[in-house]
Amino acid sequence: MLDADEQIVSKTDLKGRITYANRAFMRICDYAEPELLGVQHNIVRHPDMPRGVFQMMWETLQAGQEFFGFVKNLTANGDHYWVFANVTPDREAGREVVGYFSVRRRPSARGVQAAARLYAEMLAAERGAGPARAMEASRALLAERLGGEAYERFVLALQLG
């Protein structure tokens, strides 16, 4: 469990391979540093997470913007943990993007509750639509649930509001 003032930090290269993990990350996900470095960040991907959330995250990052969201992750021994993540482009000397980093904090209880409900629906939409149309179905469902509100405002209100 994360303390209220504790943060899980990791960095990746442009392809999402882990280049840095802090101690809190290693403790919570139960991997040692050599098991993480150079490995794709989906090593902690939980099967309950809809693909649509990661698609949105990568779109946001590739547009040069930061992403906020609730994420359910898998530990090495099959447990899970929820975080509130802020993922940002990592710019060398403030210019060229050389990778990404993510700072995660303890999520609000109502944020986890809302995200778990929303993600279950997105996952069901993805499975129902089949691989070719999964993303379209997932994103359409998300847009419908947000009812015109921007995703970032939605998650920040759940975490901070």
Give the span between the Cα atoms of 56 and 67, in whole angstroms.
Answer: 9
Closest separation in Å from C-beta 54 to ligand FMN:
4
Q: Is 44 in the site for ligand FMN (CB under 6 A)?
A: yes
Q: How far is CA 20 from the centre of its chain?
A: 16
138 contacts ligand FMN (rule: CB under 6 A):
no
> How many residues lie near ligand FMN (CB under 6 A)?
15
Q: Under the criterion CB under 6 A, does residue 139 sit at the interface with ligand FMN?
A: no
The Cα 104–Cα 81 span in angstroms is 11
Q: Site mask, ligand FMN, residues 70-89, x = CB under 6 A?
A: -x-x-------------x--
| Pair 102, 68: CB distance under 8 Å | no
Residue 102, interface with ligand FMN (CB under 6 A)? yes
Looking at the Cβ atoms of 89 and 108, the one nearer to ligand FMN is 89
134 near ligand FMN (CB under 6 A): no
Q: How many CA atoms lie within 13 A of 11 on its CB side?
A: 10
Ranges of H-type helices in the chain: 23-29, 33-36, 51-62, 109-129, 134-146, 151-160
* Contacting residues toward ligand FMN, per CB under 6 A: 10, 12, 16, 41-42, 44-45, 49, 54, 71, 73, 87, 100-102
